[in-house]
Structure 1
Amino acid sequence: MERTGTDPAFARLCGKQASFRARLTPKPWRCACPLPPGEYPRAEGAARERFTAWCERYARAIERFATCRYLETVGERAARSELAPLIEIHDKATRCGEALPLA
């Protein structure tokens, strides 16, 4: 993770939890969108309506951004066949192959 310039706090978190999480969509503040409303649960009523409105605003805001950029393949060039669908989902969701600004 050091080689890729990963945020040190995120790298420590991954080490402590013995896991790695890849973000598929931009963080709201990186695409000029406010944070979602904090109420929970949002099952019905005004809280649900506020969250639905926020989701729609967020979806519009992220249209102009990619979450990551494909740089290079390290290691085996061919992905294991069982991983190919997961890689395809990741690449589509993050828009890593598109010439968009990162958020």
Structure 2
Amino acid sequence: MFADIDYFDTNYAKGGCLVSLVYGFLFVVTMVCLMKEQYIYAAIAFAGLFLFFIFNKVRLLFKKGGSLLHDTKKQENIKHTLDEIDHFLKDNPKWGARVYETPAEMRLLITHRLMNPNDEEVSLFFNKMNVDEVYSLMCKNQQCFRARVSPKPWRMDMSKHISPRSGTWPIKEEYMATRQKWLDEYEHKAKDYASCRFIQAMGNHDIDDKVYKVIELHYDLSKANSGLKIA
């Protein structure tokens, strides 16, 4: 059983997609006004474009300081959650867990036996650990425990989404080159990132044989022991 504990993810808040939309909107407004010879409105739109450019540059300058505050708060949350896990495992000595750091916060992998999303003890554990509600709902709806093993694009400074968007299939031939270009860039950048970082094993160290295979696969795919930056 995997369990994701997400407090916040300010990396997404950098707003790569929103910034692009604002730039595009202001540029289109400027061009339309010029085409209609509405030069005053064009000048206003262009001034807005310039001011937004300055604003975005200043925002990025402060981003480093904001990241430091985020990291400090995140470490406090991790310490608190480790204490909560420790208390739970002392009350449930048969349970074992492996703990990972993720960009949003933490991931737990329960190791003493296989579990089903519909098990009552799973719901109790999720509630006790304040597991992300959306994650919990998806586990029940899809009848599996999800664990992302690849870095997210925007955390690697890829502001553009894959095109066509994921979920579109089959891909039309005229879009394949653009899509492949995005995939090539993603694969190139992903080599330098892991999706999580192993912190420690806790509780019962007897691991179910089938769970052990999951641990090995998760390590290989997520690069949890690589020491790479997590994304």
TM-score normalised by length of structure 1: 0.79
Displacement of 1:56 in angstroms is 1.3
Q: Where in structure 2 are the equivalents of 1:12-31 lying within 5 Å?
A: 12-17=133-138, 18=140, 20-31=145-156
Q: Where in structure 2 are the equivalents of 1:43-54 lying within 5 Å?
A: 43-54=171-182
Displacement of 1:99 in angstroms is 1.5
Bigger mean CA deviation after superposition, 14-23 or 62-71: 14-23
Instruction: Say which structure is richer in strand.
Output: 2
Q: In the alignment, is residue 36 of structure 1 matched against residue 140 of structure 2? A: no
Unpaired runs of at least 5, structure 1: none
Displacement of 1:100 in angstroms is 1.1
TM-score normalised by length of structure 2: 0.39
User: Structure 2 CA distance, aligned partners of 1:76 and 1:57?
Assistant: 42
Displacement of 1:15 in angstroms is 2.9
CA contact (8 A) 1:32 1:61 kept: no
User: Structure 1 CA distance, aligned partners of 2:145 and 2:211?
Assistant: 16
Unpaired runs of at least 5, structure 2: 7-80, 83-104, 107-130
Q: In the alignment, is residue 81 of structure 1 matched against residue 204 of structure 2? A: no
Displacement of 1:68 in angstroms is 0.5
Displacement of 1:83 in angstroms is 2.0
Instruction: Say which structure is richer in helix.
Output: 2
Q: In the alignment, is residue 72 of structure 1 matched against residue 197 of structure 2? A: no
Displacement of 1:76 in angstroms is 2.5
Q: Percent identity?
A: 20
Which of 1 and 2 has greater Rg?
2
Displacement of 1:43 in angstroms is 3.4
Q: CA RMSD in A?
A: 2.3
